[in-house]
């Protein structure tokens, strides 16, 4: 297409698919992005909004990225500077300003997230968190799910971050996983040379992330001046095409500038020299790009000025509407912590057992449930460390198969194939993060953390991604993943790193369901509910209970479920209520039996919570009103443990019914020792439960 002055589009532009209309549209996006930043800065200084962080200096590469991809088809994991990207994808200035004022009408979060925390189910812009680097792993999971769900329509996933983000371990785990799987994902690193005030040479050896990653097999790496729109478009187009052709992942390292401070809470003059700031101003795409358009005869200054006036008017009108928009209703705060549509505590998840066959162990019951559910739902995938029968499917005919260190996943790969059951790298954050992205995209990942003691590298993924996706997107996105983890001690020799508990760390996180069965039948019912519900679930499996003889049961059938939040009274009693779960259920039963043999008038009720979040307060309260005494027993450390909340609530709400203090039994406030003598002294035993129960009964 000819330029207005009769000159042709600059040589090479048409070859990469850029026409005059595209170049003008890019100008509009770049200008709009900067002017929204400026308007938000003004509003913040007028105390009409509460936070501001800008995309200034990043607009050219972001605009190019948006123009080379397909909103509503491809998938996007932007970060908090990606204003121009989201404008290019279709987010409007009004929508951005509604978020800035914290309005209930903010379509991204309903007033729950800071400005520039993007979310649009219609455009496939996945809800953004503030944490640096946690977006990379869910993006990898999304890309993996795209390949599974849409094999004939190659969907490319774009994930963005700054130079500082690449210092996080999750970035490297994401690169590693994407290369191993040859996924269609573009990593866009917008390098403005500063992570707040820390310069890139102190973040990245050699100061170039592209140099560090160039040896990853199959990874296309491109370095580009991210302030040059045309070069940025060329680089992004090549990266997207590389991914769409199925060649593997790509990384675009875009050198940009940050002419504004990190945010309005920061003042870059405190750490940037004037020379640095002047050099950035000379590279600013907000100035350079329109100058280039005029110099090349692609647009006249009058045409550009007309666009500026249109955009200024649009932003002014959007600002006026946003400032009049209604704030959130305080009563809406609890909405969407969990699914509003699927309630796993309801009677819909209560079915009667249909037992068949001989009693089986808890681990065999878990294995059979996984087989049945994978047969029922083709979107279920199982992965984790050592969960496959064999790393290479072609060798299955020669080996018996691993199937997990406890055999919980034995035979799944053999039956359902390596696409649905596979080994992951030894990287817990990657396991949980990829599961998050897969679940958000529409799959049902059931992943395994081999030992609970090693779950902590995944804590950011649990707390800052998986748990709050639904809430922070105002029900726009969800994450119905299941994370299985072997937990607990009482297996001689487990020591510090194979024996710990810590469930209270997760029951404290809104948005995650936490359950822990104590027997084979409950394991089946709770695991099936976990898989069929619509929320993230942490499914804790006590290692000691995997192969016990006393907790075996016939398989209760392929549709047996137990609602969450429904405890089981495993023993009726009249004088004392013991509230417990996991391995302490059996120990509490033994303690109760011993006590009742000592005195005829001692009668102890034992409640197995089964579900820790939510928990069954009604059953606890009914029992304590009857017995007038309560003892909370758990394996975790006594101080700051799960039992403290139950004990406090009993004392608070049932005080008038109590004839004795609320007792607690837990592990010593230390770590589990290797020596059996130490382990027995540290973890609660039958005698500990009996001693404390006796004290309460005699009170």
Q: Which of 193, 498, 542, 634 is catalytic?
A: 498
DSSP label of 608:
E
CB 683 within 8 A of CB 635: yes
Closest C-alpha to 501, from 460, 455, 459: 455
- Secondary-structure breakdown of the chain: helix, strand, coil percentages, each rounded to the nearest 5: 45, 15, 40
DSSP label of 253:
E
Task: Report the C-alpha gap between 634 and 645 in whole angstroms.
Answer: 12
CB 30 within 8 A of CB 229: yes
Residues 6+ apart with CB under 8 A from 546: 361, 362, 363, 406, 408, 486
Task: Report the C-alpha gap between 341 and 491 in whole angstroms.
Answer: 41
DSSP label of 465:
I
DSSP codes, 285-351: HHHHHHHHHHHTTSS-HHHHHHHHHHHHHHHHHHHHHHHHSPPPPGGGTTTTSS-SS--TTSGGG--
Closest C-alpha to 693, from 664, 666, 667: 664
Cis check for the bond before 614: say yes or no (omega within 30 of 0).
Answer: yes
Residues 6+ apart with CB under 8 A from 525: 351, 353, 517, 556, 560, 561, 562
Look at residue 282 and give its three-state secondary structure: helix
CB 663 within 8 A of CB 548: no
b/e 417-450 (16+ beta carbons within 10 angstroms → b): ebebbbbbeebbbbbbbbbbbbbbbebbbbbbbb
The answer to whether 508 is a known catalytic residue is: no
Q: Beta partners for 482?
A: 446, 537
Residues 6+ apart with CB under 8 A from 295: none
CB 296 within 8 A of CB 7: yes
Q: Which two tokens stand for residue 450?
A: 């081999």
| Distances 674 to 321, 380, 449, 498, 635 between C-alpha atoms, Å | 65, 38, 22, 10, 16
Under the phi-then-psi rule, with left for phi > 0, alpha for psi from -120 to 50, and beta for the rest, what region is 582?
Answer: left
Look at residue 120 and give its three-state secondary structure: strand
Look at residue 274 and give its three-state secondary structure: helix
CB 125 within 8 A of CB 88: no
Look at residue 555 and give its three-state secondary structure: strand
Hey, which residues are catalytic here? 498
């Amino acid at each position: 297409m000819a330029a207005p002055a009769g000159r042709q589009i600059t040589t090479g532009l048409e070859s990469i698919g850029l026409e005059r209309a595209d170049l003008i549209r890019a100008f509009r996006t770049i200008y709009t992005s900067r002017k929204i930043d400026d308007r938000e800065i003004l509003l913040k200084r007028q105390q009409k909004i509460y936070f501001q962080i800008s995309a200034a200096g990043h607009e050219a590469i972001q605009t190019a990225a948006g123009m080379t991809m397909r909103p509503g088809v491809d998938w996007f994991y932007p970060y908090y500077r990606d204003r121009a990207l989201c404008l290019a994808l279709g987010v409007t200035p009004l929508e951005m300003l509604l978020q800035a004022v914290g309005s209930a009408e903010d379509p991204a979060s309903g007033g729950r997230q800071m400005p520039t925390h993007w979310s649009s189910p219609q455009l496939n812009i996945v809800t953004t968190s503030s944490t640096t680097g946690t977006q990379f792993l869910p993006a990898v999971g999304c890309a993996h799910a795209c390949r599974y769900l849409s094999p004939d329509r190659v969907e490319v996933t774009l994930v963005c971050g700054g130079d500082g983000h690449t210092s996080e371990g999750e970035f490297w785990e994401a690169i590693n996983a994407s290369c191993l799987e040859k996924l269609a994902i573009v990593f866009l690193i917008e390098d403005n040379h500063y992570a707040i005030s820390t310069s890139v040479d102190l973040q990245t050896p050699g100061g170039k992330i592209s140099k560090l990653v160039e040896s990853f097999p199959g990874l296309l790496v491109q370095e580009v001046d991210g302030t040059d729109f045309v070069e940025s478009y060329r680089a992004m187009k090549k990266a997207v095409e590389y991914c769409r052709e199925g060649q593997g992942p790509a990384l675009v390292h875009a050198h940009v500038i940050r002419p504004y401070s990190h945010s309005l809470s920061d003042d870059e003059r405190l750490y940037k020299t004037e020379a640095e700031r002047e050099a950035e101003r000379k590279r600013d795409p907000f100035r350079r790009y329109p100058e280039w358009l005029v110099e090349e005869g692609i647009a006249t200054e009058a045409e550009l000025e007309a666009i500026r006036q249109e955009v200024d008017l649009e932003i002014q009108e959007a600002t006026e509407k946003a400032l009049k928009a209604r704030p959130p209703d305080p009563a809406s705060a609890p909405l969407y912590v969990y699914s509003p549509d699927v309630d796993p505590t309801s009677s819909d998840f209560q079915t009667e057992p249909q037992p068949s066959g001989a009693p089986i162990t808890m681990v065999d019951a878990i294995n059979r449930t996984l087989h049945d559910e994978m047969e029922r739902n083709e979107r279920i995938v199982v992965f984790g460390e050592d969960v496959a029968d064999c790393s290479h499917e072609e060798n299955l005919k020669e080996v018996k198969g691993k199937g997990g260190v406890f055999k919980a996943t034995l035979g799944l790969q053999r039956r359902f194939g390596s696409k649905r059951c596979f080994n992951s790298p030894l990287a817990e954050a990657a396991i949980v993060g990829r599961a998050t992205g897969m679940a958000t995209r529409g799959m049902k990942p059931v992943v395994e953390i081999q030992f609970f003691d090693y779950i902590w590298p995944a804590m950011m993924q649990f707390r800052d991604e998986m748990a709050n996706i639904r809430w922070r997107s105002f029900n726009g996105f969800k994450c119905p993943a299941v994370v299985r983890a072997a937990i607990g001690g009482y297996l001689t020799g487990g020591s510090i790193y194979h024996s710990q508990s810590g469930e209270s760390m997760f029951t404290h996180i809104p948005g995650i369901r936490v359950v822990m069965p104590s027997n084979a039948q409950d394991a089946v019912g709770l695991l099936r509910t976990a898989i069929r519900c619509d929320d993230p679930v942490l499914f804790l499996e006590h290692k000691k209970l995997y192969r016990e003889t006393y907790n075996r049961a016939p398989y209760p059938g392929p549709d047996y479920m137990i609602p969450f939040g429904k405890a089981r009274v495993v023993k009726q009693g009249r004088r004392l209520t013991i509230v417990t779960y996991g391995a302490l259920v059996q120990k509490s039963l033994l303690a109760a039996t011993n006590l009742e043999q000592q005195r005829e008038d001692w009668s102890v009720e034992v409640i197995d919570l089964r579900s820790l979040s939510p928990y069954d307060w009604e059953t606890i309260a009914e029992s304590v009103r009857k017995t007038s005494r309560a003892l909370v027993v758990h394996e975790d450390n006594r101080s700051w443990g799960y039992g403290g909340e139950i004990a406090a609530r009993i004392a608070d709400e049932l005080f008038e019914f109590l004839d004795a203090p609320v007792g607690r039994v837990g592990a010593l406030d230390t770590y589990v020792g290797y020596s059996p003598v130490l382990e027995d002294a540290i973890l609660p035993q039958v005698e500990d439960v009996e001693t404390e129960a006796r004290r309460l009964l005699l009170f």
